[in-house]
Amino acid sequence: MDKGMNKADKTLLLVLCCFLTALVLHLQYRDSVLAEAFLFASEAALVGGIADWFAVTALFRKPLGFPYHTAILPRRRDAFIQASVTLVQKEFFSKRKIFRHLERLHILPMLMGWLREPATENRLVMQLVNYLRDFLLSQEASKHSAVLAAKGREALQAIEPEDFFALWGSWLQQTGKDKAFVKRLAQYWHKQVSTEDTRQNLQKLLEDYEAEKTNDNPWAKLASFALQAVDLVNYGEAAELMQKQILAMLEELETENSPLQQSLLALFYEKSAELNDEPEFHQLVHELKDSLLRDLPLEPALEQIFANLREHFLQDKAMDVDPLAEHMPALRSRLEEIIHAEYQKTLQLMEEDEELRRTVSSFLFDVIARSALHAQHLIGVIVENVLSGLTDEQLNRLVYDKVEPDLLWIRMNGSIVGASIGLVLFLLLKIAG
């Protein structure tokens, strides 16, 4: 429409030229049958072409301004739009067709194949970890702090101190933490003992001890003075010697599996076992446990921890930083491992349990079918809104572009059929005359 002359217009122009040529020939050769037949046929072709042009044009506008029963599509646009909506809803998206197409789809195998892909698994696991993180951040800290504190007290109440000490000692031995603890302790004291202050303190200790022993005995004090005078007794050298001996012992304690270290640990475990069997110690640790459970401020501590974590995590999240990966990579890795394992178990269960497969397949079919049926109305609304928003010219162009070749052939067929009928009528008239 309005894109220059098309082949139907050119055909009509050709028919007009043929008519004018036939008219001139008929006027020149009035007795010629061929000229008369040519005029008769071209006249019928011109009438047929003009009539079909009028009919096709009248569908979209008023040809030559003719007002009666023309511009049919613009005048009946509301009916056309409703018919289009009904066509889309009832034919293209009918319940029967939707169900038939869904039955052809193997929904569950397609879903299982998609879920088995490593990229899908990783993406879903990451999403679940993030959802879990966000869920924990959205929880009320005070409520969960009270629950965790109650669980903690309950767990601590069930622990017998003697059993705990026994387990703790066994854990120290199995992991070698006891040797590491002795080594660090020896290193600390080695650093402290190796100073000049320690040597002076040892010398002062010896001198104080000598003064204490000789204070009430004049003869002992005289002998001590004489020995110091001839340098047979030198407290400075004695203190230095003691310091070296202590440092040597500490260095041996630092050496893993040294005899002194093993002897010390064996003595520690022996005395710990004896202490653990003492009734007085049993009563003391139970009183300490009860006092600890009663006075330990678990709720405020946990609430403060959760509040600080939540604030810190929200700050990281606002900066597009994953707080778990940034500050608790071990926790995030463990969560990912757990969810990966449960994900694989779920897929395996889906593959092995036929009843579960039927249930899930039925559920998916029901959900998709209901969604498609709800979309049926939505699609109708969309089609109606789109078509209603078009101007008359846009609507005409939309329809005309879809059927333009057929409309052009209708117009050309008008001229062709008109010429054929004109020839037939001319022959009949000649035969009858």
CA distance readout (Å), 280 to 236, 287, 340:
44, 11, 51
Which comes out higher in pLDDT, residue 141 or 337? 337
Domain assignment of residue 41, yes or no:
yes
Q: What is the pLDDT of residue 13?
A: 92
CA distance readout (Å), 57 to 64, 65, 76:
10, 11, 15
Q: What is the pLDDT of residue 214?
A: 54
Residue ending a domain, among 215, 247, 277, is 277
DSSP codes, 254-321: HSTT-HHHHHHHHHHHHHHHHHHT-HHHHHHHHHHHHHHHHH--HHHHHHHHHHHHHHHHHHHHHTT-
Domain assignment of residue 212, yes or no:
yes
Going by C-beta distance under 8 Å and a sequence separation of 6 or more, which residues neighbour residue 367?
A: none
- The radius of gyration computed from the CA coordinates of the chain, to the nearest angstrom, equals 53
Domain assignment of residue 302, yes or no:
no
pLDDT tens sequence across 219-244: 444 444 444 444 444 667 777 888 88
Q: What is the pLDDT of residue 218?
A: 53
Same domain, residue pair 426 and 372: no
Same domain, residue pair 18 and 98: no
Q: What is the pLDDT of residue 220?
A: 46
Q: What is the pLDDT of residue 45?
A: 92
Domain assignment of residue 23, yes or no:
yes
Segment 372-389 mean pLDDT: 79
Domain assignment of residue 129, yes or no:
no
Residue ending a domain, among 250, 277, 304, is 277
Stated pTM of the model: 0.43
Q: What percent of the chain has pLDDT over 90?
A: 8
Averaged confidence pLDDT in the chain: 80
Same domain, residue pair 187 and 256: yes
Domain with 94, as residue range(s), is: 77-102+355-388
pLDDT tens sequence across 391-426: 888 888 888 888 888 988 998 998 999 999 988 988
Same domain, residue pair 12 and 95: no
Same domain, residue pair 238 and 203: yes
Same domain, residue pair 243 and 233: yes
Domain assignment of residue 271, yes or no:
yes
Residue ending a domain, among 254, 277, 300, is 277
Closest of 8, 49, 59 to residue 397, by C-alpha? 59
Q: Coil, strand or helix: which one is 69?
A: coil
Same domain, residue pair 411 and 376: no
pLDDT tens sequence across 12-67: 899 999 999 999 998 888 888 888 899 889 999 999 999 999 998 888 888 888 88
Same domain, residue pair 200 and 267: yes
Same domain, residue pair 209 and 244: yes
Q: How far is 415 from 421, CA to CA, in rounded Å? A: 10
Q: How far is 396 from 77, CA to CA, in rounded Å? A: 10
Q: How far is 216 from 220, CA to CA, in rounded Å? A: 9
Average the pLDDT over each of 200-209, 253-262, 343-352 and give the range with the smallest value. Answer: 200-209
Domain assignment of residue 273, yes or no:
yes
Same domain, residue pair 273 and 186: yes
CA distance readout (Å), 346 to 53, 127, 332, 363:
68, 17, 21, 17
Same domain, residue pair 93 and 30: no
Question: How does residue 381 score in pLDDT terms, banded at 50, 70 and 90?
Answer: confident
pLDDT tens sequence across 247-295: 888 888 888 888 888 888 888 777 777 777 777 777 777 777 777 777 7
Q: How far is 175 from 12, CA to CA, in rounded Å? A: 103
Residue 433 has pLDDT above 70, yes or no: no
Residue 318 has pLDDT above 50, yes or no: yes
pLDDT tens sequence across 64-92: 888 888 888 888 888 888 888 887 777 76
Structural domain count, the chain: 3
Domain assignment of residue 283, yes or no:
no
Which comes out higher in pLDDT, residue 236 or 9? 9
Same domain, residue pair 33 and 81: no
Which comes out higher in pLDDT, residue 140 or 347? 347
